[in-house]
């Protein structure tokens, strides 16, 4: 990703986080806990890497988990062409939110993520779900690589991650929202209101157009 595109991406990411960033950050971490519990993963927050960290909005929420936080963004490392500047097997948890769709060489990036992740460490990704975002995915010109739940699972398995699982990109919902063979269609079609709609009943907010993926090294 060249410098101009990185700058545009960074500005858009900051704009998307306008509002109560602290509350958003805690919701991201609580969602990670829900999804990890669904697949029986034991979270160890001692060493956490936030890939595509933006303004490090997750840092305070992770500090509440007594985590040693490390954040890195495109301005620090070109995820498409450079190795991550960390020793092998350094991090217990690696979080990568809304980054992989911006990469032309996501497999090479995932091999680096695998390298710096500890044995039995956990990786947590989010990305738009091409099945529901294809009409406007490329309206953001920094988007270059779309994923479906299946293709995201395949590339993570191809990078040697194990116990790969994908879920609808909803935050802090009851577990049944994330479960079942039709979970992506259920959370897109049955819940008609975006989470930002303050006038809709909370239990009807969803309309997931993104994917969460979790896996182990």
Structure token pair of residue 107: 């497999």
| DSSP three-state, residue 117 | strand
Res. 28: pLDDT tops 80: yes
CB 53 within 8 A of CB 97: no
CB 124 within 8 A of CB 117: no
pLDDT on residue 186: 82
CA distances from 124 to 34, 114, 137, 192, 204 (A): 12, 12, 21, 26, 25
CB 157 within 8 A of CB 109: no
> Bigger pLDDT: 127 or 16?
127
Residue in this structure with the two tokens 């490390």, named with its chain if needed = 70
Res. 67: pLDDT tops 50: yes
Q: What is the average per-residue pLDDT within 44-69?
A: 94
Q: What is the average per-residue pLDDT within 65-69?
A: 96
Report pLDDT digits (tens) over 154-193. 999 999 999 999 999 988 888 988 999 999 988 887 655 4
What percent of the chain shows pLDDT beyond 90? 68
Q: What is the average per-residue pLDDT within 69-83?
A: 94
Q: What is the average per-residue pLDDT within 21-34?
A: 87
Residue in this structure with the two tokens 């495109």, named with its chain if needed = 74
Structure token pair of residue 146: 């779309």
pLDDT band at 203 (very low <50, low <70, confident <90, very high): low
pLDDT on residue 197: 44
pTM of the model: 0.87
Domains identified in the chain and CATH numbers: 3-216 (3.40.50.150)
| DSSP three-state, residue 87 | coil
pLDDT on residue 193: 46
Mean pLDDT of all residues in the chain? 87
Report pLDDT digits (tens) over 106-152. 999 999 999 999 999 999 999 999 999 999 999 988 899 999 999 99
């Amino acid at each position: 990703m060249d410098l101009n595109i990185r700058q545009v991406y960074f500005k858009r990411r900051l704009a998307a986080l306008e509002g109560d960033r602290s509350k958003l950050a805690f919701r991201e971490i609580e969602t990670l806990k829900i999804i990890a519990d669904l697949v029986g993963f034991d979270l160890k927050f001692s060493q956490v890497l936030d890939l595509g960290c933006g303004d490090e909005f997750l840092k305070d929420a992770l500090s509440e988990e007594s985590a040693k936080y490390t954040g890195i963004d495109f301005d620090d490392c070109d995820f498409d062409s450079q190795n991550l500047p960390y020793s092998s097997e350094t991090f217990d948890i690696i979080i990568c939110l809304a980054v992989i769709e911006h990469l032309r060489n996501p497999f090479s990036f995932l091999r680096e993520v695998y390298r710096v992740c500890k044995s039995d460490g956990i990786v947590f990704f989010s990305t738009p779900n091409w099945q529901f975002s294809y009409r406007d995915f490329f309206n953001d010109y920094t988007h270059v690589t779309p994923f479906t739940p299946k293709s995201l699972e395949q590339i993570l398995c191809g990078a040697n991650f194990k116990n790969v699982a994908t879920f609808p990109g909803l935050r802090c919902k009851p577990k049944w929202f994330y479960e079942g063979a039709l979970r992506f269609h259920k959370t897109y079609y049955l819940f008609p209101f975006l989470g930002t709609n303050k006038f809709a009943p909370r239990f009807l907010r969803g309309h997931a157009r993104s994917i969460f993926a979790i896996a182990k090294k």
